[in-house]
Amino acid sequence: MKAIILAGGLGKRLRPITDYVPKPLIPINNIPILERQIRYLKKFGINKFIVCTGYKTEQIRNFLDAKNNFGVEIKLVNEKMPLGTGGAIKNASKLIDEKTFFVLNGDVITNINVNLLKSKQNSIAAVPLRTKFGIMDIKNDKVIRFSEKKNISDYWMNAGIYYLSNKIINDLPKIGNIEDTTFPTYAKKSMLNVVKFKNAVWYSIDSYKDIEECEEAIKKKLL
């Protein structure tokens, strides 16, 4: 089974770290994000990887070489210019000969069982929408309870993990995000599926606060 890891972002919100280190190599409890992702996906039988890069590619290449590719097949596809998520997948498609494949955003750390996505082609993993703000429970214009951040019932977030048919490649943009182009088109045609992971532990590393919260979850052995 093959997976594409979209690791070409600049990681601007994590400057100044990313001025010197590409986002995929930022350590989370001393282990780089990319290493965590590869080891995570290996648990589900994925042994072939395409890593889409675009920023400080040589650092990523040297890191993987030093780790002997973690015992799996890894090929790097470098973007000469930012292509977006859809464009990155299309750019890497020459290396995809399987009928189906996984895609993982390069900043996601989670315990989601990706094999559950195999029940439906062109599936998106979804996790409950979370808020970073305090929640008020209100009754008759009175606040009856005030709680810290929590999931918002019946609203779901794109978890940045996809299980796709190779037929989707023809519908991907050369430049642009799959979330803004192909997915909305497929959704209108009822060609896009979702698998919900209500109790998953999931982080998208996009800020120093995300790093802090993810590291705390790892210390608690939630990941």
Q: Model-level pTM?
A: 0.88
| Residue 13: predicted pLDDT | 83
DSSP secondary structure string, 140-156?
A: TTEEEEEE-S-EEEEEE
Positions in the chain short of pLDDT 70 = 132-136, 142, 145, 147-153
- Summarize pLDDT for 161-200 with one digit per residue, the tens: 999 999 999 999 999 999 999 999 999 999 999 999 998 9
For residue 59, give its domain range.
Answer: 2-127+156-219
| Residue 181: predicted pLDDT | 96
Domain contains 46: yes
Q: For residues 97 and 28, what is the distance between their CA atoms, to the nearest angstrom? A: 33
Strands (E), 62-134: 73-78, 100-105, 108-110, 123-130
Our count of domains for the chain comes to 1
Question: Angle at Cα 93 formed by Cα 165 and Cα 203, nearest 5°?
Answer: 70
Q: What is the CATH number of the domain that holds 96?
A: 3.90.550.10
Pairing of strands 31-32, 27-28: antiparallel
